[in-house]
Chains A and B, each alone.
Chain A
Amino acid sequence: MSGPVPLTTDHPGQVASATPPAPGRSRRLSDRWLAVAFISPALLLLLAMSVFPLLWALYLSFTDYSATRGGSAHFVWFENYTAILTSAQVHLRALTTLIYVVGAVALQTVLGFAIAYLISRRTHGRGLLTTLFLVPMMLSQVVVGLFWKFMLDAQFGVINSMLGSLGLGQVEWLTRQQTALISLIVVDTWQWTPFIMLIALAGLTAVPKYLYEAASIDRASEWFRFRTITLPLVWPLLLIAVLFRAIEAFRLFDLVYILTSGGPGVSTETLSFHVYKVAFLGFNTGTASAYGILMVLIVIVLTQLYLRYLNKLKED
């Protein structure tokens, strides 16, 4: 951080309106001008494409506006919010989303860490192994969803075909209440276990060798070493990985849209999927905006709490 001058660019509006000083000799002024010139285009794009739409949604969330029915928007103030927060339909979707997020993230964390641990203990072929394990993560959710739909088909899907060869019966993966949600969790876990693995692996291979050597001189048990050396060093990284996954899982839409479209009934409808229905089936734009704003708030608040916990953990 070599820039000597504190710049007043905390306010993007100010950035845009700051008049660039003449390119004088003054290095201070030149730096300031550069910073503004370099940062403001990016911030302007974000303002136009992220902030402005979000504020518009915020405004609409207090109205009964509909994108198709026409007519002007009438203020209903917090009616949309109270309707959403007290709706049993929404509670149902929140529960589904919660189960999904917790289930998927927990499963992929355990699996991802296990795979990373196993890989980190190998001497040969680690590069190849890691690369192979990473493939699912790179695929589009559309491809992943379609393909698992094909594999999980109760009649001709390869999963049931293999279960059949083992003498087990057919499982209705996508059309029973519990199995459908489990299928979603399994597919998400398949795709994102590599993510956790990759990050855990970074932590595991970063544990300095001398720590283990010291411990082995002390004849510490392996579990003790894992618990006192490995885990504390990997833990913060793992927590970051979990945060990323939780945010992603919370806004899950693509997979539901393709794999179950919310079925059977509405039992795999996540919050995102419900927002979509409110927004595009009935075009209840006002309600959908309020719904979306609430989702964004949840992400922001939970992320903040989590990061605060993380920072505290780091300081300890």
Chain B
Amino acid sequence: MRYPKRIGRLSVPGRKVQLATAAMLVATTVAACGGQDDGAKASAPKAPATIPELTKDPLTLSFIWFDWPPAHALEDFANAEYTKQRSNVTIKVNTVPNANWHDAMFTQFAAHKTDFDIPILDSQHIGEAVTNGNILDITDFVKQNIDVKAYNPYLLAAYGQYPQAETGKRDENASLYGLPLLGDTWTMIYRKDLIGDKPPQTWDEMISVAAKCQADNPGVSGLAFHQANGSDAAAVTYNTVNGVYGGNLWDSKTRKIDGVMNDAAGQEAMDVLVNKMKPLTAKGSGNWFIDEVNAAVAQGKACIAFNWIAASGGLLDPKQSTLGTTREQILDKLGFATLPSQKTNLVPLGGMGMHVSAYSPAANQAEALNFMKWFEQADIQKKWAAAGGVPARTDALESPEFLNAGPFNKVYADSVTRMRDMWNVPEYARLVDIENTNVNAALNGAKPPKDALDDIAKEQQGVLDSGNRKGGGGL
């Protein structure tokens, strides 16, 4: 006989209430201890102004970044160059999936134990890390060791300053928490063989050129850009169009988003994005991010595409491309240009800075500071440029080493003065999720564009204003 004989006959246990009460008391005690521990560190600890004596023992200096070519370039570059000066040091760049990047860093910060010494934070993450006391205040260190005049002040501010400098100017008195590691912005990638050598100059022109190209070339879509609801993909896309059409993300002084982001300019930007740009993209591109846009370009399926410069290197690799069998053949077809302008010429600021984990051992923190000082020297910045990185020092940006290293590097150099970033407030992760999901919904027809924009403004405002709310935070 093989029919079911033993189906568990189960019932709710009644006696566990006492046990539960007892254990809860224990839990309360432990949690309370944890709370005290947390309370001790309210703001970012300070790094020494001068680099402490470095160890002579073998030391591994660890970074954390997401998995993309610059991460591997950095590891190779640092191991080749930095070890010339510090032979006892090994550089390790831990990489995590992009979608997991913020979580991986901040769960470790929350644990007060990090397996990295130098977190590579996105520029917008700074507020959260500073407020929680996760990274060192390096203001004094920078004063003593870094030639701040060598930088475009905004770059220095974007990757290190908190509170933020969204005006585009650096506040000399504000504290610094990081130094630039990799500069980045969007580049427009266009098919020279399909739309001609001259890139469109205005956003409207870009849209009409893309529409014509799509009509003339069956199987090729007019546009390709980031639309995914993960990371900051769709949010950056909207912010870019918002900037170009003269909108603002918020009024930082009054902390107002509702009524600012969804003003007439914001609405126009959303309308352009959803009703003019989206129809020119490939079917099913509503979850595209960096890699899908690259794939579309490499497969010859897009007339005009937008992508981060630091992520564009793979486009020139003949092994991954159907556009040509050599780099030169590919470059005959692909052009790289700065973004078109419309009411303004703003472009999105990308890239990341280096920071020092507050939870690293002292020896590693000292080494990290030494690395940062080394990295920001003029000749090292040029070597970093030659190795495929994007430097931040003005002299390195203007150097032939950088400008000749890739066809998109000039685009970056020309874009530096045009950059705008998002808010870097501690609530960043929630703000960007609200924007991402709503823009993504609008792009994919799950929400009318106007509603999506109003929802973003309303919900983001709710997050900024939720400081004193009791319970239910984060929903």
Contacts and interface: CB of A to CB of B under 8 A. Distances in A.
- Direct A–B contact in complex, judged by CB atoms less than 8 Å apart: yes
Nearest to A282: B474
Interface stretch (B238-246, B250-258, B344-352, B440-448): B440-448
Nearest to B3: A206
A265 B443 CA distance: 9
A13 B1 CA distance: 42
A12 B446 CA distance: 51
A277 B22 contact: no
Given A82-B471, A284-B474, A174 B132 contact: no
B216 interface: no
B131 interface: yes
A69 to B, nearest CB: 6
Contacts of B110: 67-68, 283
Interface in B277-327: 282-287, 296, 299, 301
A205 interface: yes
Interface string A95-108: 00000000000000
B7 A266 contact: no
Interface in A252-290: 257, 260-267, 277-278, 280-284, 286-288
B6 to A, nearest CB: 11
Contacts of B287: 174-175, 260-261, 263-264
Contacts of A172: 283-284, 286, 444
A59 B30 CA distance: 11
Contact of B15 (A10, A84, A307): A10
B450 to A, nearest CB: 15
B42 A83 contact: no
A87 B7 contact: no
Contacts of A304: 10-12
Contacts of A257: 99
A134 interface: no
A11 B19 contact: yes
Interface residues of B, number: 76
Nearest to B471: A79
B177 to A, nearest CB: 16
Interface stretch (A23-31, A50-58, A215-223): A50-58
Contacts of A3: none
B19 A13 contact: yes
A237 B452 CA distance: 47
A283 B441 contact: no
Given A59-B28, A72-B36, A155-B296, A263 B470 contact: no
B475 A287 contact: yes
Interface residues of A, number: 80
A286 B472 CA distance: 8
A290 B288 CA distance: 34
A310 interface: yes
B201 interface: no
A263 B286 contact: yes
A13 B440 CA distance: 52
Interface string B107-137: 1011000000000000000001001111000
Given A82-B471, A261-B229, A70 B38 contact: yes
B8 to A, nearest CB: 8
Contacts of A282: 427, 429-430, 463, 473-474
Given A263-B229, A267-B446, A283-B106, A90 B475 contact: yes
Nearest to A157: B284
Contact of A175 (B437, B444, B452): B444
Most A CB contacts (10 A, CB to CB) among B10, B452, B474 go to B474
Contacts, number: 219
Most B CB contacts (10 A, CB to CB) among A58, A66, A208, A265 go to A265
Nearest to B473: A284
Contacts of B32: 72-73
A65 B35 contact: yes
A260 B128 CA distance: 27
A307 B11 CA distance: 8
Interface string B10-54: 111001001110111011101110011011011000000000000
Contacts of A153: 284
A225 interface: no
A287 B128 contact: no
A228 interface: no
Contacts of B282: 154-155
A276 to B, nearest CB: 9
B433 interface: yes
Interface string B372-414: 0000000000000000000000000000000000000000000
Contacts of B472: 79-80, 82-84, 87, 287
A261 B100 CA distance: 12
B37 to A, nearest CB: 9
Interface in A185-209: 202-203, 205-208
B446 A70 contact: no
A74 to B, nearest CB: 8
Nearest to B5: A206
A64 B286 contact: no
Contacts of A160: 284
B182 interface: no
Given A13-B19, A154-B284, A265 B4 contact: no
B103 interface: yes
A155 B298 CA distance: 13
B438 interface: yes
Contacts of A202: 2, 4
Contacts of A287: 471-475
Contacts of B128: 68
A176 B445 CA distance: 7
8 contacts: A65-B31, A69-B132, A83-B472, A154-B282, A237-B7, A267-B446, A281-B474, A286-B471
Rank and list the top 6 A-B pairs by shortest CB-CB distance, nearest first.
A154-B284, A83-B472, A79-B471, A265-B441, A284-B474, A175-B286
Interface of A: 10-13, 47, 51-52, 55-56, 58-60, 64-73, 76-80, 82-84, 87, 89-90, 153-156, 160, 170, 172-177, 202-203, 205-208, 233, 236-237, 240, 257, 260-267, 277-278, 280-284, 286-288, 300, 304, 307, 310-311, 314
